[in-house]
Amino acid sequence: MNRGQSFLLLLIGIVALLTLFVILPFVEYVVASAILAYVLYPFHVRLSRWLRDRLAGHVRESVSTRLGRMLSGISLILASVVAVIIPLAYISWVFIRDLTEIARGNTEIDVSAIEAELAVLTGREIDVGEVLAMAGQLLVETLFGGVSGVVTTALRASVGLSLALFLVYYTLLDGPTFVGWIRDTSPLPAEVTADLVDRVDAMTRGVVIGHIAVALLQALVAGVGLWAAGVPNVVFWTFVMAVLALLPLIGAFFVWGPAAAYLVVVDQVTAGVLLALYGVFVIALVDNYARPIVIDQQAHLNPAVILLGVFGGIYSVGFTGLFVGPIVIGVLAATLETFREDYDAIGGG
């Protein structure tokens, strides 16, 4: 390696570190935009082709292709805002509102009934309301840095979401060009690069799309059960279950299980028993059957590996680490598998 190449590599390393430093405050939203663009891209391909065909008779082919891609990107972003961003913002607002109320000691839970039952079981008086308030304060402090941090978090989220939507638009338009550039600049043989890209694509599809679909399905099914059983703050607990359901081997049981016990404690025995049966025979089936079918068959990752990636990702980059962690581990697995199959075969030959 000559001096020119060494200098160029050093310059690339320095600029890469500076770029990481610049985007680090919004790295969660950059990752979120990449995930959303990945999910939307198949729809973008179909919609842009349809729009191109509609415009073909009115403008030149090159113009109709470009306009079709632009209109498709804008349409999908607007659809995402209506179908994803607004509902998620509403659910997040309800979650924050209920969490701050719990932190202040205000809750719709029948605390006195729980305290009476615990006194009978343990022979001691336990201030459940104080415990819930302390737990709420701890969550508010951990998630937002205190009640005053909620506003700061909301403002930062607004800026981050605006940035993410712009990134989604340009990723939809230029994503294939970027993938093509990776293929062209890869030092690996063309067939090895293609094999690696296909493996990473299948793994990412399984982790991202399957992860989200199974978690949302399980949370919605469980939320219907909570609503039918008369559990208070259903939207709040459904949001919590949607997050917990992203964690394999844990799932939504940590919500519907205690909720069933709570109903029994407050003398709603029938509702509590029915909710428990619903959880065992309906909610648990979603996790036990849908997750292996949707995720494992495509990602080929053990649930324990996914769990490790989820917790490590959350600790490293925040909420989007739910997906980043398993994807990073999956990319490592795909790379190792590609090396084993392609280069072992080459070496053996």
What are the tens digits of pLDDT across the range 90-115?
777 777 777 777 666 666 666 676 66
Tally of structural domains, the chain: 2
- For 130, the domain range is 23-183
Give the model's pLDDT for residue 80.
Answer: 84
Regarding whether 292 and 224 lie in a shared domain, the answer is yes
| Residue 88 CA, distance from chain mean position | 12
Give the residue among 182, 189, 185, 200 at the shortest CA–CA distance from 345: 189
Tell me how far apart the alpha carbons of residues 140 and 233 are, in angstroms, rounded to a whole number.
17
Regarding whether 178 and 41 lie in a shared domain, the answer is yes
Regarding whether 270 and 204 lie in a shared domain, the answer is yes
Give the model's pLDDT for residue 289.
Answer: 72
Regarding whether 195 and 179 lie in a shared domain, the answer is no
CB 171 within 8 A of CB 33: yes
Residue 161's Cβ-count burial label (10 Å; 0-12, 13-18, 19+) is middle
Regarding whether 172 and 66 lie in a shared domain, the answer is yes
Regarding whether 148 and 101 lie in a shared domain, the answer is yes
Is there a domain that residue 9 lies in?
no
Is there a domain that residue 338 lies in?
yes
| Predicted TM-score of the model (pTM) | 0.69
Give the residue among 224, 220, 210, 275 at the shortest CA–CA distance from 242: 220
Regarding whether 156 and 27 lie in a shared domain, the answer is yes
Regarding whether 271 and 148 lie in a shared domain, the answer is no
pLDDT digits (tens, 9 = 90+) for 270-302: 888 999 999 888 888 877 777 666 665 556 666
User: Residue 124, SS3?
Assistant: coil
Is there a domain that residue 302 lies in?
yes
Long-range contacts of 276-284 (CB under 8 A, 24+ apart): 278/225, 278/228, 278/229, 279/222, 279/225, 279/253, 282/221, 282/225, 283/218, 283/221, 283/222, 283/225, 283/252, 283/253, 283/256, 284/251, 284/253
Give the model's pLDDT for residue 14.
Answer: 92
| Residue that finishes a domain, picked among 183, 204, 235 | 183
Is there a domain that residue 11 lies in?
no
Computed on alpha carbons and rounded to an integer, the radius of gyration of the chain in Å comes to 25
